[in-house]
A and B are shown apart, each in its own frame.
Chain A
């Protein structure tokens, strides 16, 4: 357990300096640079935060140019989703709110009383505190910690915004794979149906000449009809998958006139070896970062409690001096002796509470880290395994099927087998192609899942 905590502890260093945070908080797009960096790193795509009507219009035009009447690849789909998905913009607005909060706290304009009180402790203590403290006193006493709280909220909001961005990117990529895979499958079923149609056509002709009885004709026809049903089903699945992609990309109106390729890309020559996938996951996962932040928050919470308990002059003075030096709001720190808070008396209990709370969070985080390691290994196993399966279909099964098709034709040529057998072998070949296509789709999905476990942005997939 300890080494993990240690690792996490060092990771905590990622927190930027306060001033920078405050600058970020007051920026038009507070904290967004981190979101952009992470997103670019994880997905290779840009995330965009629109703030004005003009920006939105410009974005709409850009999106339209990217999709309207175009055949789009997975990267463009992800890019458009990041540009155009309104739920993501809503998540960014959350980040903005948090930034405003940070800014406000730093400026001291609006006391974040509830937040601070809630974080002070639980049950009756907080209420007692709430009842006995005046707003100004509390604000005075907790100005520094509250600012820290706001900073942490802000950092958490950053993580959440990043997480939402990566989740959207991931879901969009998966959706693109699903829709292209669905169209590829539908096309193969269509080809299989072509062979069945030929069988039906021949059966009808043989019925006309008197060479095939009604039962055998019906057998050919029902096969065709069933396959037509399956084809319709596959087409519907492809359509619905496409609609889901369109939703993720936030498209509507004429922009839904967007196309995807007929088939998924061929398999790459190999799978990228990722011996460090566990490390990547531990250092990159947004959910772990959030957990680390939570620890920090708890530590901070209870440090706050300690400080309260040790609300000695020195500490308060120091805090007041600091505030004065900051010159942020010009508060004159008046030490009120009545600010002898019961918190102090229950200090031991509170420390114990803090310890337990911290350990609970630490343990939860530790378990999440262990899970993350396992998920990383699973994803790597899945991508290498599904690659091997898809490769096997491509290099072993399909060549054999092609050989069978060639031999079926030779056999037909020699009047050794009938046209129906020729068609039946062709259909079997198409079924194998369908399986191969599905294996290829599974590989691409597994490939997408790898980045998901590294960035940990997704709940649904694992």
Chain B
């Protein structure tokens, strides 16, 4: 114990000395910007340093920076935060600068960045710069790269951005707990050449999973598999902002996965190609078309498409339980059960009992019943034509003609042009084919009418 403490203080002394050197050079820390809003904050184009087209972090923001000579300086503060995951649900998490996920760090290929990290957590932390090429001592693995940052201390990371691409940052000290508590953020390095892979709209979000028992506020950090909050940037449907796109835009969507399972992200209405991973840009010759891309654990993907199809297009994880909010997984299937007698019996004791599930679970999306505190219904949300019955990792890509370049506000529901929407058939139904045999049946070749 004594030895360990001695080691720690020795390590701390080293860093304090380095910090003192930094202070003599720069006198003060950059301001630690903070926000208490969970809404998407579209970053301004940079007024200093190299120009780039900022990304739009869904329900997030980009960390302000200052130029100190040729060095771009940021100040990250690791601290407990309250994140509004959706209306009616607050999560008590750990994050950065007032939010989880943390603010997106944006810089440009070739720049040198200096990132001050202040630890306001009750335990030590560190920041690992996932995917970036940097000196070993800057890699942020507590105990391996450098001593973990003790509570109350500020460490400085400084390195050159040798390549552009899509990266992220997260702790690498008590990593399991700190990531389960929401500590993560995006790190976007824009190409120095503005003509390289330009896009009009560049969206970014991180996939994070939490297990927050209904009625509670803080994640169960020991959970390994049975999560109930499937979030984009620590936000759940119906309160993940839509991806507003102007018709004709070139659009990039960047997505990183810091959960413990894979997520096939599926976007309706388009096919697209993966153009970038956290390993770098994908050569054009190596791309292939997809409508769903699986984001592996601990990996990032960016895909691009030309927004030529107007409409409201769902975008979501294709694991159907990941588009649900908190729900029980031990429920019997009630489909087809006659609950008329049962209802009377249960109401003797529980007058508020409502029978559900006999015809499926859609009634859950329709009813609004009293739930435990701080709990968003398992399936919820309303569209122009009825309940969406979704949750978790679900949003809408809204492609509209004529959106201003910097307009990311929700354009409302898409008006389908006449004749382009499914309609109800009220006439007589023709015979429909039916088959009660499980045997393989060979379909006869269509008989061609050669007349």
By a beta-carbon cutoff of 8 Å, the part of chain A in contact with chain B is: 191, 194-195, 197-198, 201-202, 205-206, 208-209, 211-212, 405, 407-420, 422-423, 426, 429-430
Contacts and interface: CB of A to CB of B under 8 A. Distances in A.
B335 A194 contact: no
Q: Which 7 A-B pairs have the closest CB atoms?
A: A198-B345, A413-B369, A209-B336, A205-B337, A414-B371, A416-B328, A211-B333
6 contacts: A195-B349, A409-B370, A416-B214, A418-B330, A418-B331, A418-B332
A198 B355 CA distance: 12
Interface in B214-249: 214-215
A194 B328 contact: no
B214 A414 contact: yes
B334 A211 contact: yes
Given A206-B337, A415-B328, 13 more contacts: A191-B348, A194-B349, A209-B333, A211-B332, A211-B336, A409-B352, A410-B369, A414-B327, A414-B372, A416-B327, A418-B330, A422-B353, A426-B350
B337 A415 contact: no
A422 B350 contact: yes
B327 A194 contact: no
A422 B378 contact: no
A414 B336 contact: no
Contact of B371 (A195, A212, A405, A413): A413
A202 B337 contact: yes
B326 A416 contact: yes
B339 interface: yes
Nearest to B354: A413
Given A201-B341, A414-B327, A416-B328, A191 B370 contact: no
A417 B346 contact: no
Given A211-B335, A418-B330, A418-B332, A413 B348 contact: no
A415 B375 CA distance: 11
B174 interface: no
A429 B371 CA distance: 20
B329 to A, nearest CB: 10
Interface residues of B, number: 36
B328 A191 contact: no
B20 to A, nearest CB: 53
Contact of B214 (A208, A411, A429): A411
Nearest to B325: A414
Contacts, number: 106
Interface in B288-334: 326-328, 330-334
Name the residue in A208, A212, A415, A417 with the highest tally of chain B Cβ atoms < 10 Å from its Cβ. Answer: A415
Contacts of A419: 332, 334, 342, 346
Nearest to B347: A198
Nearest to B363: A415
Name the residue in B333, B337, B341, B370 with the highest tally of chain A Cβ atoms < 10 Å from its Cβ. Answer: B337
Contacts of B18: none
Nearest to A207: B337
Name the residue in A195, A198, A211, A212 with the highest tally of chain B Cβ atoms < 10 Å from its Cβ. Answer: A198
B16 interface: no
B345 A194 contact: yes
A209 B336 CA distance: 6
Contacts of A418: 328, 330-332
Contacts of B357: 415
Contact of A201 (B331, B345, B349): B345
B335 A416 contact: no
Contacts of A426: 346, 349-350
Given A413-B371, A416-B372, A191 B349 contact: yes
Contact of A422 (B214, B346, B372): B346
A198 B347 CA distance: 10
A424 to B, nearest CB: 11
Contacts of B353: 409, 412, 422
B378 A415 contact: yes
A1 B149 CA distance: 80
Contacts of B372: 407, 410-411, 414, 416
A205 B335 CA distance: 10
A422 B331 CA distance: 12
B356 interface: yes
Contacts of B377: 414
Contacts of A201: 341-342, 345
Contacts of B350: 405, 408-409, 422, 426
A415 B332 contact: no
B230 to A, nearest CB: 16
A405 to B, nearest CB: 7
Given A410-B370, A415-B378, A422-B353, A194 B348 contact: yes
B31 interface: no
A415 B327 contact: yes
B375 A414 contact: yes
A167 to B, nearest CB: 42
Name the residue in B215, B332, B370 with the highest tally of chain A Cβ atoms < 10 Å from its Cβ. Answer: B332
B272 to A, nearest CB: 34
A52 B348 CA distance: 54
Nearest to A423: B346
A202 B375 contact: no
Contacts of B339: 202, 205
B436 to A, nearest CB: 17
B96 to A, nearest CB: 31
A209 B371 contact: no
B361 interface: yes
B303 to A, nearest CB: 34
A212 B374 CA distance: 32
Name the residue in B214, B327, B345 with the highest tally of chain A Cβ atoms < 10 Å from its Cβ. Answer: B345
A415 B356 contact: yes
B410 interface: no
B353 to A, nearest CB: 7
A201 B331 CA distance: 17
Contacts of A206: 332, 334, 337
A337 B369 CA distance: 109
Contacts of A205: 337-339, 342
A414 B370 CA distance: 8
B366 interface: no
Contacts of B378: 414-416
A429 B349 CA distance: 10
B42 interface: no
Name the residue in A194, A201, A405, A423 with the highest tally of chain B Cβ atoms < 10 Å from its Cβ. Answer: A201
A405 B364 CA distance: 20
Name the residue in A205, A420, A422, A423 with the highest tally of chain B Cβ atoms < 10 Å from its Cβ. Answer: A205
A417 B372 CA distance: 11
Contacts of A208: 336-337
B342 A202 contact: yes
A410 B377 CA distance: 11
A211 B337 contact: yes
Contacts of A409: 350, 352-353, 370
